[in-house]
Homo-oligomer: A and B are copies of this chain.
Amino acid sequence: MNKEKPRAVVLVSGGQDSATCLALAVSQGFECYALSIDYGQRNILELNAAKQIAHALKAKKHVIITADLRQWGGSALTDDAIAVPEQSAQGTPITYVPARNLIFLSFATAWAEVLGARDIFIGVNAVDYSGYPDCRAPFIENFRRTANVATKAVDEGWEFNIHTPLQEMSKGEIINLGHRLGVDFSLTTTCYNPDIHGGACGKCASCLLRRQGFKDAGLPDTTKYAK
């Protein structure tokens, strides 16, 4: 361990947002511990992408925790009986996974406590994912307070910092930032419904956002689309 670098746990999903978030944490001088969750997600390519991203961005360690949320389903991403829509609808999207970021941040907090890390990074975004309650600032702030009293932090007199650097950025801004930080976006996958060869569908809400993001950023979209 390099004693001069503070440690941080960074949630890495395999998508372009969390990849940019990891690159940012590295650029800010943190020794980064990348954490991915195998929750039974529909896109099975995500975890392999996360592994490659963590390696490419020189995370100190990458851990994948298995927690099979398919046992109760409740989302198009964890329940085969619920189809992924091609367009976004009003209200909470059917791709919302109940309490997913609550679970992810809880794992991140646990690992951070063991590592002696006070900093946790999560690439949530409240612009494109405004329908997801667990991407919004009030959730993050309440989670931070909870993490501080859930752990030794409360007895030892220190606090966790939950970093959400992408919270208010547009997809174009995120892609521009990641590009400047050296993220290889061809490693990332964001499609809700890719084909078995890894081709993105190009039509789901996530693909549409990604396509528009590269366009807005004025950068070539290296994503392999099925159509």
- Asked if A56 is at the interface (CB within 8 A of a chain B CB), the reply is no
State the CA gap A63–B114 with chains docked (Å): 27
State the CA gap A47–B202 with chains docked (Å): 44
Interface residues of A in 56-73 (CB under 8 A from B): 63, 65-69, 71-73
Q: Which of B72, B133, B136, B142 contacts A110 (CB 8 A)?
A: B72
Q: Which of B65, B72, B146 contacts A111 (CB 8 A)?
A: B72
The DSSP consensus for interface residues of chain A is helix
- Asked if A223 is at the interface (CB within 8 A of a chain B CB), the reply is no
Kindly supply a per-residue 1/0 record for chain A positions 33-71, scoring 1 wherever the CB is within 8 Å of any chain B CB and 0 otherwise.
Answer: 000000000000000000000000000000101111101
State the CA gap A101–B142 with chains docked (Å): 16
A63-B72, A103-B107, A109-B102 known; A133 vs B150 contact (CB < 8 Å): yes
Q: Which of B63, B69, B142, B152 contacts A92 (CB 8 A)?
A: B152
In the complex, are the beta carbons of B113 and A74 less than 8 A apart? yes
State the CA gap A146–B99 with chains docked (Å): 10
5 A–B contacts from the bound complex (CB under 8 Å): A72-B110, A74-B110, A133-B151, A142-B142, A143-B150
